[in-house]
Structure 1
């Protein structure tokens, strides 16, 4: 009897020890798998952020290059000096850029030295004062070449400005080239990333002529080629949740990465919410 009892005890101890080993191994492997998966997610998020940053930087450089080229124009100096603004015409140049490059909506604006818009290539609207824009006001004050990302009447856009002087070095105003986030969104899509460029709601009242006319409550979607299924998904699941993602979340089969866009005064402009399937 005592021998059988010892055997039972040994078997019980063996089974208990085996159970602990199996459970311990399971939890160890699960923990390692979870850590590995989180590492992959974090690396993917970092790569998405770097890709987004590089695409924005490249677009800003291209926008500036266009502005610098267009500003070197004798006719522009002449029309600005004589205030013969009706002869300004950049629609053909904008159309050629659209036809021959991936930048489909390049806008050109001429502003006089007092901050009044005297010409826009994409609309007949003109004559309004733009000194509410800090980036433009800074260029007119310092008379320098500059770039920025800002929200104005039409959209959240990338901008590049160059001052206009006559041949006597008198300051006449500025030429501004304006580009959008559509090509950036398209380039991200080629990397299997869908994005929503969501403008902060504090700019809702500034956007009097919204370019895309896509809104989630007071949040404006700035990229015209945004995936409308994702727009509705974010809308139905509370947009505030996604713009407040610290880095990334994994949800519904997507790695959802948040890139916050700041202006030069470190104020929040927008949130680029990237979805990788």
Structure 2
């Protein structure tokens, strides 16, 4: 330890220690910054991928509903009110369509007065009045144009509704319904996990979801590990952004009903192996066109 006996050497040693510690801190923070930037890039990719897949599924559902609403065999059996024949035709077509995309597809046909004509999954249900809680049906009947959305009913699905028109007269509508299993599967192949959350205040409408798992004020709609969402501050998130807990990081965005009411969030999760704390959130831009709300 003779080196430290000299005052100059002690100063030099102190400078070396301080410089080394400073360099260590600089590298530590730069490494964390690089890791954070890489994680945010991954989350941005996850967000973009999820949104694109959702739009792709919505287009798919819309195409199916339009195609089925113009199908002559369906229209003929519908006009004749031959429910058994309609049920058989619809399920045969579903079986064929499932060979094109292995997703859960259901079809519902509605009468002119917005009641149920047939459901592909339940032939016994008929004449159920849907006007009180299915805004999409009302919109299609009024405007006679197809629509697609993530719509709330007894369940929550991607729903596309197209009018049945014969001789310029509105006769009813055909609805293609797709759940979130296909999306979950496609995202899983890319290393992502999907979580579709619905605000619990809508359980008075979504009666079939009452037994689903809950996290704080939200219901988990799709099949996913709800424990991955533990310890997230879901009370203070905005319209879209990034958030993390100790083991997982998430990109998320809001989804809205046809009346622009906020229904819930869609989360896409990835492993947070380095246990980084990410929390960035943003609000959608709300603009008004002809006194109607449009959210960007």
SS at structure 1 position matched to 2:128 = coil
How far apart in 2 are the matches of 1:254 and 1:177? 34
**How far is 1:202 from its partner?**
1.8
Contact kept? 1:248, 1:255, Cα under 8 Å: yes
**Structure 2 counterpart of 1:148:** 149
How far apart in 1 are the matches of 2:168 and 2:258? 29
Contact kept? 2:228, 2:248, Cα under 8 Å: no
Structure 1 or 2: larger helix share? 1
SS at structure 2 position matched to 1:49 = helix
Are residues 1:266 and 2:280 paired?
A: no
Count of aligned pairs between the two proteins: 262
- Residues 206 and 185 of structure 1: CA distance in aligned 2, closer, same or farther (over 3 Å): same
Are residues 1:43 and 2:44 paired?
A: no
Contact kept? 1:114, 1:173, Cα under 8 Å: yes
**How far is 1:83 from its partner?**
3.9
**Structure 1 counterpart of 2:284:** none
Task: Compare 85-94 and 40-49 and name the one that shifted more.
Answer: 85-94
Contact kept? 2:136, 2:161, Cα under 8 Å: no
1:59-86 Cα distance to aligned partner (Å, 9 max, x none): 1111111112112222333344344444
**How far is 1:145 from its partner?**
1.4
How far apart in 1 are the matches of 2:80 and 2:25? 79
How far apart in 1 are the matches of 2:175 and 2:53? 20
SS at structure 2 position matched to 1:177 = strand
How far apart in 2 are the matches of 1:256 and 1:74? 46
How far apart in 1 are the matches of 2:235 and 2:100? 32
**How far is 1:110 from its partner?**
0.9
How far apart in 1 are the matches of 2:84 and 2:244? 54
Contact kept? 2:151, 2:258, Cα under 8 Å: no
User: Which of 220, 223, 231 matches 2:226?
Assistant: 231
- The two structures have a TM-score, normalised by structure 1, of 0.85
How far apart in 2 are the matches of 1:78 and 1:97? 21
How far apart in 2 are the matches of 1:92 and 1:160? 19
1:219-248 Cα distance to aligned partner (Å, 9 max, x none): 33222xx23xx22454xx36x734755633
**Structure 2 counterpart of 1:241:** 233
- Determine which structure has more spread, i.e. the larger CA radius of gyration: 1
**How far is 1:260 from its partner?**
2.3
CA RMSD of aligned residues (A): 2.5
User: Which of 25, 28, 42 matches 1:27?
Assistant: 25
How far apart in 1 are the matches of 2:162 and 2:156? 19
SS at structure 2 position matched to 1:171 = strand
Contact kept? 2:50, 2:268, Cα under 8 Å: no
How far apart in 2 are the matches of 1:30 and 1:232? 31
Gap regions ≥5 residues in structure 1: none
User: Which of 56, 60, 63 matches 1:62?
Assistant: 60
Task: Compare 117-126 and 76-85 and name the one that shifted more.
Answer: 76-85
